[in-house]
């Protein structure tokens, strides 16, 4: 894979991660908070069967991310579409 292709691939992975639905679990209480479509139905069933309480949650937070290519030092910013305001700054 060329360096340019590697850079684009990693940037796409970061964009997907930032825009993906989120889940949150902190141990106690035994509750999993989940944004819409974060877990498929079989995962929800598995969690319920293991005693977890799964609670739907409105989208929260925004992850403004910056990727710096270690080879070229090129900077890219990735904005989380959950929030209309905000922007990752690379300058």
- Is the pLDDT assigned to residue 8 strictly greater than 70? no
* 35 in Cβ contact with 23 (< 8 Å): yes
Residue ranges per structural domain of the chain: 1-21+64-91, 23-58
List pLDDT tens digits, range 64-84.
Answer: 888 888 888 888 888 887 777
In which band, very low, low, confident or very high, does the pLDDT at 90 lie, cut at 50, 70 and 90? Answer: low
What is the C-alpha separation between 44 and 4, in angstroms, rounded?
39
Q: How far is CA 68 from the centre of its chain?
A: 18
What is the C-alpha separation between 77 and 85, in angstroms, rounded?
14
Count other C-beta atoms under 10 Å from residue 44's C-beta.
15
- The secondary structure of 22-80 as a DSSP string is -EEE-SSSSEEEE-TTSS-HHHHHHHHHTT-EEEE--------EEEE-TTT--EEEE--
């Amino acid at each position: 894979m060329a360096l340019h292709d590697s850079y684009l691939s990693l940037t796409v992975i970061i964009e997907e991660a930032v825009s993906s639905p989120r889940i949150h679990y902190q141990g106690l209480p035994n509750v999993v908070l989940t944004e819409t479509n974060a877990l498929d139905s079989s995962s929800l069933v598995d969690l319920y069967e293991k005693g977890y309480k799964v609670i739907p949650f409105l989208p929260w937070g925004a992850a403004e991310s910056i990727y710096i290519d270690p080879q070229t030092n090129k900077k890219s910013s990735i904005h989380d579409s959950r929030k209309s305001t905000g922007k990752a700054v690379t300058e």
